[in-house]
Amino acid sequence: MRQKKSTEVTVGLFVILGLLALFFLAMKVSNLTSFNDEPGYRVTAEFENVGGLKARSPVTLAGVRIGRVESITLDSDTYSASVVLNLYASFSTLPTDTAASIYTAGLLGEQYIGLEAGAEEEFLKDGDVIELTQPALVLEQVIGQFLFSKAGGNE
């Protein structure tokens, strides 16, 4: 009887640990929580089109995550998307002429912002604006333009 009870307790603990591991993986994959976000500084970038970019999407430089998208709002004056980036404090030496582009991870993956460092000697600081931006490439628009150009070329 005691062995049966200890087996049941062991199986129960194993199931609980498995469920906790699944919960942890689900949170990491969905970007709902990150256990290593460090405080940093905020910069803003304006894009004509953000596509499927979302808050908490990664911000990378040379493939290394250096921050996250904090918020996305519509600028009522310019009718462009204003994206606030929270960059980690350890990456405080980005030149002021840094460029920002929206990329897609894989063919249909999530979108993220990729930064390309410039050559200026001054660095971005809290509240600065990234002037050089490239909007998201929307797959539907690219396919539509391709089909339209093929249809127009046959006449």
Over residues 106-155, the pLDDT tens digits come to: 767 789 999 999 899 999 999 999 999 998 877 777 788 888 887 766 55
Query: What pLDDT sits at residue 104?
Result: 87
Provide the 3-class DSSP secondary structure of residue 13. helix
How far apart (Å, rounded) are the C-alpha atoms in residues 150 and 139?
A: 17
On whether both 81 and 15 belong to a single domain, the answer is no
β partners of residue 44: 84, 129
Average pLDDT for 22-51:
79
Query: What pLDDT sits at residue 1?
Result: 66
**11 within some domain:** yes
C-beta separation of 66 from 88 below 8 A: yes
If phi over 0 gives left and psi between -120 and 50 gives alpha, with beta otherwise, what is residue 118?
beta
How far apart (Å, rounded) are the C-alpha atoms in residues 121 and 124?
A: 10
Q: Is 80 exceeded by the pLDDT of residue 96?
A: yes
How far apart (Å, rounded) are the C-alpha atoms in residues 1 and 132?
A: 72
Query: What pLDDT sits at residue 137?
Result: 76
Query: What pLDDT sits at residue 31?
Result: 59
The average confidence (pLDDT) of the chain is 86
Q: How far is CA 86 from CA 15, 32, 138, in A?
A: 37, 15, 24
On whether both 75 and 122 belong to a single domain, the answer is yes
On whether both 97 and 119 belong to a single domain, the answer is yes
C-beta separation of 56 from 68 below 8 A: yes
**15 within some domain:** yes
**155 within some domain:** no
Query: What pLDDT sits at residue 6?
Result: 87
Domain extent, residue 91, equals 40-144
On whether both 24 and 56 belong to a single domain, the answer is no
On whether both 65 and 92 belong to a single domain, the answer is yes
145 or 87, which is more confident?
87
Q: Number of folded domains in the chain? A: 2
**17 within some domain:** yes
